[in-house]
Structure 1
Amino acid sequence: MTEPTTRTLETTGATLRYDVRPGTGADPRPLLLIGSPMDATGFTSLASRFTDRTVVTYDPRGVGRSETAADTPLEIRPEDHADDLARLIEDLAAGPVDVFASSGGAVNALALVARRPEFVHTLVAHEPPVAGLVPDGAEALAACADVHATYQRDGWGAGMAKFIALTGHQGPVPADWAGLPVPPPETFGLPAEDDGRRDDPLLGRNMRGCTSYVPDTEALKAAAGTTRIVVAAGEESRQELAARAAAALADRLGTPIAVFPSHHGGFLGGEFGQHGAPEEFAKALRTVLEG
């Protein structure tokens, strides 16, 4: 795989760093792979299966090599990420791009397309955790708020234990979810001690803004003449909150949901110690992009 070239981009309140891997094929349209708060390293396996395309990955503001200004708010909104993505695509100067967006990255990409559809040719939004769209939206949002509150009160290990329990929960979220027992952090190999920090990119900075974001479905429908939107979910995660939110969004847009191999992180090939089915996932993504 071609070694990436890293570029630096100044945006409002942030300094972003992104990587460009030139492709060997004839397709001039870049393929942008984005997550949130996951950084560019999470797409190493997926990018390696698109060597014929120019592949762009980046570290969202406040994550990895990207930074936020000292005077910017701690919590980050999808609209902030959308503005960053617009600037990044402008900086590429390559016309509209194809986007594969995962999890919080899919939420941010939806915010981008709703505001600037001319920047995106095809968006594949994989399991955006827009919790308010599911039938049990009030309960799901309360559970997300409880994860954030647990982190603020008890620290990273306790917050992550609740996050893992919520994201792996099958089916509707019960109204009393916050009071249900959760395995202690040690069960997941997490520290029980509170290190005193409250700036974790997931639990502290993006959790509430991401899950409470309500996609502008009317704007997304209106963008159809410019941007093709494909909402996707993993075949193994259909009863989990992010996949159920994806199905609810597809229903609101009046489009079928694309079922991808594996689970929420199906494109992972060992990054962060997690394994999906990256070869099969990449083939499914290529089919959707070519469709």
Structure 2
Amino acid sequence: MTGTTIGRLRVEGAELHYEVRGRGPLLLLVPGGTGGADSFEEIVDDLAEDRTVVTYDPRGLARSPLDDPEGPQRVERHAADALQLLDLVSPGASADVVGCSSGAIVALHLLTSEPGRIGRVVAHEPPVVEVLPDAAAHRAMLAQVRDAYDREGPMAAATVLAAGLRRPGDSPDVRPAAELSPRAAARVQRSMADAPYFVGKIIPGFMAYVPDVDRLRALSDRLVLAGGTDSYGELPYRPAAFLAELFGTELVHFPGGHTGLSTHPAEFGKLLREVLDAR
């Protein structure tokens, strides 16, 4: 594996921090939540043994400042950022893409909008709730999140959101919080500063996103839909399970729950490599 190249890329309305490791076929890792490039720090070196791996902080998060922090955030704009980054690293080359949570929504959009540039996509629990039969109920929940944010601030909104993401009948203390390694715990602590932006700007735009289901179906041989072994029935799990059943494809289960990348990095990374190597 070669060393790490760290750089900055000017995109429309923002400046992105990015990192490139390794040599070989191109692989883009798109983080979810408040995570940035560091979300993948425990698995990226292994993946870079035989790939050129690109990680980055999405606009507005960590080291990627926005020109206008109050502006709305759209999946399409984030996907355009990712494509511009791929063009910088390897112009015209095809890339595999792995996305987690909100990053998986970006990965889905890249596949449907740029199929000539995107090879295999692994989408781990993309919360594209608009594909679900009960989408109206989740639309109402998101309206409550926005109302809580406007009235009481980001912490209140995060509480409403967390309740809406749980499986029906669960209470906050049904399961103990997943234990994190010191490295992962420190990473989560660093990312907490971006929680208001994520709840106030990313969640409203991303969870309202409507993917092109017909296009995804046509490209389903290049799409790996994934969920966590511990998150069956939770809202972020359900769209991936629904789409996999709709397309007649396998739902690949990764260790842990929605944040399995952080709670089970070694096992998560091992399975991810197997999935990417399978053709």
Scaled by the length of structure 2, the TM-score of the pair is 0.83
1:215 is aligned, of 211, 218, 221, to 211
Other-structure match for 1:117: 115
Residues 192-220 of structure 1 show CA distances to partners (whole Å, capped at 9, x for unaligned) of xxxxx999321111111111111102222
**Equivalences, count:** 256
Q: Unpaired segments of 5 or more residues in structure 1?
A: 174-180, 184-196, 269-275
Q: 1:172: how far off? A: 8.6
Q: Distance in 1 between matches of 2:271 and 2:32?
A: 22
Say which SS state the counterpart of residue 19 (structure 1) adopts: strand
- In the alignment, does 2:79 pair up with 1:82? yes
Q: Distance in 2 between matches of 1:65 and 1:205?
A: 17
Q: Distance in 2 between matches of 1:254 and 1:145?
A: 32
Other-structure match for 1:48: 45
Q: Distance in 2 between matches of 1:182 and 1:171?
A: 11
Amino acid at match of 2:108: L
- In the alignment, does 2:146 pair up with 1:170? no
2:36 is aligned, of 26, 30, 39, to 39
- In the alignment, does 2:259 pair up with 1:261? no
Other-structure match for 1:247: 241
Q: Distance in 2 between matches of 1:2 and 1:150?
A: 47
Other-structure match for 1:187: none
Q: 1:6: how far off? A: 1.2
Say which SS state the counterpart of residue 20 (structure 2) adopts: strand
Amino acid at match of 2:227: A
Task: Note the 1:73-222 alignment, pairs <5 A.
Answer: 74-93=71-90, 95-167=93-165, 169-171=166-168, 200-222=196-218
Other-structure match for 2:183: none
Q: 1:114: how far off? A: 1.0
Taking structure 1 as reference, are residues 253 and 73 closer, same or farther at Cα in structure 2, changes over 3 Å only? farther
Moved more, 39-48 or 83-92: 39-48
What percentage of residue pairs aligned between the two structures are identical? 37
Q: 1:154: how far off? A: 0.4
Residues 228-284 of structure 1 show CA distances to partners (whole Å, capped at 9, x for unaligned) of 11110001001110101111122333322111111111111xxxxxxx211111111
Amino acid at match of 1:12: E
Residues 89, 119 of structure 1: 8 Å contact kept: no
Q: Distance in 1 between matches of 2:168 and 2:269?
A: 27
Q: Distance in 1 between matches of 2:141 and 2:169?
A: 11
- In the alignment, does 2:225 pair up with 1:231? yes
Residues 39-93 of structure 1 show CA distances to partners (whole Å, capped at 9, x for unaligned) of 11111112133241322111111111112223x8622010111111111111111
Residues 154-185 of structure 1 show CA distances to partners (whole Å, capped at 9, x for unaligned) of 01221222222222x11499xxxxxxx989xx
Q: Distance in 2 between matches of 1:22 and 1:223?
A: 28
Other-structure match for 1:188: none
Taking structure 1 as reference, are residues 170 and 61 closer, same or farther at Cα in structure 2, changes over 3 Å only? same
Residues 152, 198 of structure 1: 8 Å contact kept: no
Residues 61, 194 of structure 2: 8 Å contact kept: no
Q: Distance in 1 between matches of 2:215 and 2:244?
A: 14
Scaled by the length of structure 1, the TM-score of the pair is 0.80
